[in-house]
Amino acid sequence: MSDYFDDPSNEARLRAEVRKWMGTPFVEAVGPAARPGVAADCVSFCEKVLTGCGAIRPVQWPARYVTFGGGREMLVIFLKIMEGIEELQIVWDRKRSLAVRPKVGDLVLSSSGAALHHLAIYMGQNVIVHCLQTGRGGVQEGNLFDPIIYNNVFAIYRCTHG
């Protein structure tokens, strides 16, 4: 099994797809209606970018797949859906003690386990790209070591192809 973004042409497609989405406004639970420059949330942004560059097939999310304050129940639903995406492999979670360095294209799931559930794409050199509801809002770059993200990293998923 190989890591999808180890191929330079796949990484270039990822970066081009991310550029299309930069600045897209945040709209909660926009799901399949997410479009570059129009609307996205953290989950729909990541899914649309990864499908757009050929890393994964489109995902069927339930109507309310993520909500702020969704609690433990929402996290369980989200994790079950992530496990069902054949092209993703979990490479790290809180239960594992192995030190794993994220690679370009990895999905970083942050969760406090109760209220905060957030998905971002790792772009290398500690840069993530994600869609935020707060602050400036929308699709933007961030730092993996922002305490709100880093202290709550729950799992890291990698795109692989057999």
Question: pLDDT tens track of the chain, all 162 residues?
Answer: 689 999 999 999 999 999 999 999 999 888 889 999 999 988 889 999 999 999 999 988 776 665 555 567 777 777 888 888 999 999 988 776 667 789 999 999 988 766 667 889 999 999 999 998 877 789 999 999 998 888 888 889 999 975
Among the listed residues 80, 13, 22, the one whose alpha carbon sits nearest the alpha carbon of residue 51: 13
* Residue 140 and residue 21 in contact, taking contact as beta carbons nearer than 8 Å: no
Are 130 and 120 in contact, with CB atoms under 8 Å apart? yes
* Closest listed residue to residue 108, CA positions, set 74, 142, 137, 138: 142
What does the pLDDT read at residue 149?
A: 87
pLDDT number for residue 128: 97
Those residues whose C-beta lies under 8 Å from the C-beta of residue 41, and which sit 6 or more positions away, are 26, 27, 28, 29, 30, 31, 34, 66, 131, 133
Beta strand 153-161 pairing with 107-111: antiparallel
Single-letter residue type at 3:
D
* CA pair distance 3, 126, nearest whole angstrom: 19
pTM (2 d.p.):
0.91
- Number of Cα atoms under 13 Å in the Cβ half of residue 114: 0
Tokens standing for 124?
């290398």
Which amino acid would we find at residue 7?
D
- The answer to whether the CB of 79 falls within 8 A of the CB of 113 is no
Q: Residue 26's beta-bridge partner residues? A: 40
- CATH number for the domain that contains residue 61: 3.90.1720.10
Structural domain boundaries enclosing 88? 2-161
Number of domains in the chain: 1
- Contact call for residues 13 and 53 (beta carbons, < 8 A): yes
